[in-house]
A and B are shown apart, each in its own frame.
Chain A
């Protein structure tokens, strides 16, 4: 069976600066995979390459066995991959409900329709309302997304990401900047909404990483120096030297 997401020899340079230096990575279906690494290791860039935000300099990326290298973000999304952003990336002047409605319309097949009334599309409304419930924003349903609290916006960000029903979900630092209780809520939410899906996440909070991930990859200077279960990563000498040493224990 093909991996949910597979990267082979992926390089990315901005001008002469190489950010990603030959990444090989295979993520199995249904796996929760965390990408960790020091600041500037290229974690967000890796996400931007996978999701089509930036083109790769060389190498190939495939999704469920199909090549997606060089495709536009929306084309990759149509093939079943969705992502969230490190810096909250929502539709600020639309309500929570409308944000989620935008996220579900394509996957339900309405595309660019200008002959159907969106209010009359029962499946769109029900799916969007289901998402409102999943991310716990029922009371904020008709509030403009731009005036939500930070934690609420982060929850909405996750709601938009999973809205299209993609089976590979990329979350870029979903708990960054949250308090402990907010982080616990976010972890529960992520666990809940990614059941049966493949999750790849960039995260700095080690309790989140070790609590959620089935496997972990460590990215340092644009290269994966280790991939393995949380236990293996904890015991890996190279990882401890390069990165974890100071932060764990």
Chain B
């Protein structure tokens, strides 16, 4: 039966809010607040992207256009606020970005949503390239290569809030993120949101129950542009700088990765993806130059082994948890994780040595430190050891994989029986 009001859902939202409030108090390292802020922005952006891909079945390669244009309009608005020519509270700046995103969503959406599938994807790519080209042609608006810089500490402090300290900015982002999450979730529960799913599954049938698929796609893209614009404005507040690369195809590809890794089939998938990808990008890039390669490998492994994203893995384990059989998978999973760790140790060693020789050896010599050990990348021994570790890890994983599979089969069969009984 349709539930008018769900306590369980309320509990999930309350827990989400609690996590967002407590997070910066738990993670107090210097970079943590900044990373959490970026996560909040990424969550809004990835969810807005999934309004297209996951909910309406539109693969866009140009969603950063709405994020970026929203950001540029907000940056100019913020500068006008600072100059005293525009009276508007900084905390509501995201509305400006949202309206800019919405307006461009309406304009570009009108052109692109007449098509679906591959033609839509290609046109979205074209629009992304076109807007990126425009950003070079109009340096007064886009600020050329340096971008538009701004200052968020403007106007009078309201109750002592200046948005100077990054913690205050985090809570502003968190509040907007929370509101946007709820709004985007609520949208999935409206007639338009339900018809978006119908259009994704079968646009032709949607026509014959009275809905114009073009109109549904147009409305969804316009609204997705609105939320992307909000994220863009928050980016401006967070970094006090916006450059044209944030509206380019690389940024558009990045949000696609977030949504895909998290799982486009579930509402919360892109949230997981946004958090994880933001974390990996800033954490990995702190440790290694080769982070983009690791990130690419991670994406590859995800697509190969969990094409539905992390959310689909969670869904897959739901019946196992409900029937209390997760324990039976613990040992195989730990063994698989250990083998994967061995494999990665070998792989990382090889990649890092290669990177060292290719990029650093000329300046600092071939001696490098890896996993706390000194080694000379010009000698054969570390390469042989790393290769042996890699092969051993691969062999172990292949061996353990069989046990994981058989344990999984046993558990799912048992879980189905328990449910049936």
Interface residues of A (CB under 8 A from B): 51, 53, 72-74, 77-78, 82-83, 85, 89-94, 98, 101-103, 105-107, 110-121, 125, 160-161, 163-164
Contacts and interface: CB of A to CB of B under 8 A. Distances in A.
Contacts of A125: 2
A115 B197 CA distance: 17
Contacts of B208: 51, 73-74, 77, 82-83, 89, 161
A74 B210 contact: yes
Contact of A112 (B197, B207, B216): B216
Given A94-B198, A101-B194, A119-B189, A114 B209 contact: no
Given A73-B208, A93-B201, A112-B219, A102 B192 contact: no
Contact of A102 (B3, B198, B215): B198
B354 interface: no
B194 A89 contact: no
B34 interface: no
Given A91-B202, A119-B2, A106 B209 contact: yes
Nearest to A112: B192
A73 B207 contact: yes
A89 B210 contact: no
Interface string B6-24: 0000000000000000000
Contact of B207 (A74, A91, A93): A74
B197 A164 contact: no
Interface string B204-220: 11111111100110010
Given A113-B190, A113-B191, A116-B191, A93 B197 contact: yes
B195 interface: yes
A120 B186 CA distance: 12
Contacts of A117: 186, 189-190
Given A72-B207, A77-B207, A106-B209, A114 B223 contact: yes
Contacts of A110: 191
A164 B191 contact: no
Interface in B155-196: 186-187, 189-195
9 contacts: A78-B210, A91-B197, A92-B202, A113-B191, A114-B193, A114-B219, A117-B190, A118-B189, A164-B210
Contacts of B304: none
Contacts of B2: 119, 125
Nearest to B192: A114
Contact of A114 (B191, B202, B204): B191
A91 B201 contact: yes
B194 A118 contact: yes
> Which has the most chain A C-beta neighbours within 10 Å: B2, B193, B206, B215?
B2
B190 A74 contact: no
A37 to B, nearest CB: 23
Given A94-B197, A160-B205, A112 B210 contact: no
B205 A105 contact: no
A46 B209 CA distance: 19
B69 to A, nearest CB: 22
Interface residues of B, number: 30
Interface of B: 2-4, 186-187, 189-195, 197-198, 200-202, 204-212, 215-216, 219, 223
Contacts of A161: 208
A74 B195 CA distance: 13
Given A112-B219, A120-B4, A105 B207 contact: no
A77 B2 CA distance: 28
A114 B210 contact: no
Q: Which of B4, B207, B209 has the most CB of A within 10 A?
A: B209
Contacts of A120: 4
A51 to B, nearest CB: 7
A33 B118 CA distance: 41
Contacts of A53: 204
A117 B212 CA distance: 20
B210 to A, nearest CB: 3
A94 to B, nearest CB: 6
A86 to B, nearest CB: 13
B212 A74 contact: yes
B180 to A, nearest CB: 14
Nearest to B209: A103
B204 A89 contact: yes
A110 B329 CA distance: 47
B374 to A, nearest CB: 56
Contacts of B186: 117
A202 B189 CA distance: 37
A110 B219 CA distance: 15
Contacts of A91: 197-198, 201-202, 205
Contacts of A118: 189-191, 193-194
Given A77-B207, A77-B208, A115-B190, 12 more contacts: A74-B208, A82-B208, A89-B204, A90-B202, A102-B211, A106-B210, A106-B211, A112-B215, A113-B190, A118-B189, A164-B209, A164-B210
Contacts of B200: 93
B215 to A, nearest CB: 6
B197 A105 contact: no
Contacts of B215: 112
Most B CB atoms within 10 A — which of A51, A89, A105, A121? Answer: A105
A110 B211 CA distance: 11
Nearest to A52: B207
A117 B209 CA distance: 20
Nearest to B197: A94
Contacts of B197: 91, 93-94, 98
A184 B216 CA distance: 38
Contacts of A94: 197-198, 201
A136 to B, nearest CB: 19
Contacts of A90: 202, 205
Contacts of A112: 191-192, 195, 211, 215-216, 219
Contacts of B194: 98, 101-102, 105, 118
Contacts of B202: 89-92
B9 to A, nearest CB: 11
